[in-house]
Chain A
């Protein structure tokens, strides 16, 4: 099992799940009302690819299991092994 990033399923976050789904070796599942973005290798999500506004981008992460955030800025969210 890979490490997990949780994200609440609200309309603003749906484009982020869409981008994550197309990342190599990333699985997007569900746990209750949360998206579970799971991967064995560190995640890297491009902000511009998601098209979400800044307020959404900087608040979409609900929880981290195994990952630590290595970068979270106007360009990308990148995780690393905890």
Chain B
């Protein structure tokens, strides 16, 4: 019997990688403005298929031993970003709503309001000032775009997550998977299915919590 087969084994982000066409701006933003140490870099001659350019792959520490990495390909032309929206990697046609373009982003965590505001101070003194500071349901975030156009967030928890939020998240996702099988599903369908699962699971959850 495999002792690991029911365990959650991963321990965080090793690295998340993005292409850059502005290595100087990228280093300025992550290392000089935000103060993320450079922790690794690999320079490599083009390898594999004949059209692979020479490149450098470089990494910044984003805390907890996790890293954000960039690929810079020598001689690869920068995409035309004069029309539409998005970043250097993903472009969207004119008229694509901002909320959709911004929905893919990286959010880094800080432990306190003081730490969040310290990053706000660093960004506001740079070419990439904070564009928004928002209190969401249970987190507060600052946002900007990095030199590559990648939407970048730093966030703090306004309070610890409560056990009932884990229950609610679990049953909400079960409800989502259930309704997602029906074409044309809506938020209304989700709220109805969620209510059914609340009625089914919430009383037992309370009993389990009280037994702890």
A: residues with CB less than 8 A from B are 4, 6, 8-12, 31-34, 53, 55-56, 59, 61-65, 68-69
Does B112 count as interface, using CB distance less than 8 angstroms?
A: no
A-B contacts, 25 of them at CB < 8 A, read A6-B195, A6-B198, A8-B165, A8-B168, A9-B164, A12-B137, A31-B199, A32-B164, A32-B198, A32-B204, A32-B206, A33-B167, A33-B202, A33-B205, A34-B202, A53-B135, A55-B136, A55-B137, A59-B137, A62-B172, A63-B191, A63-B194, A64-B191, A64-B192, A65-B192
Does B159 count as interface, using CB distance less than 8 angstroms?
A: yes
Contact residues of B between 161 and 198, Cβ < 8 Å to A? 162-165, 167-168, 172, 188, 191-192, 194-198
Q: In whole angstroms, what is the CA distance A11 to B159 when docked?
A: 9
B: residues with CB less than 8 A from A are 134-138, 159, 162-165, 167-168, 172, 188, 191-192, 194-199, 201-206
Q: In whole angstroms, what is the CA distance A56 to B135 when docked?
A: 9
Q: Which residue of chain A has its CB nearest to the CB of B192?
A: A64
- CB neighbours of B196 from chain A (8 A): 63, 65
Given A10-B164, A11-B159, A61-B191, verify A31-B135 contact (CB < 8 Å).
Answer: no
Given A6-B194, A33-B206, A55-B137, verify A65-B199 contact (CB < 8 Å).
Answer: yes
Q: Choose among A9, A59, A65, A68 the residue with the greatest number of B CB atoms under 10 Å from its CB.
A: A65
Given A8-B164, A10-B165, A33-B205, verify A63-B192 contact (CB < 8 Å).
Answer: yes
Given A8-B165, A31-B202, A32-B198, verify A69-B137 contact (CB < 8 Å).
Answer: no
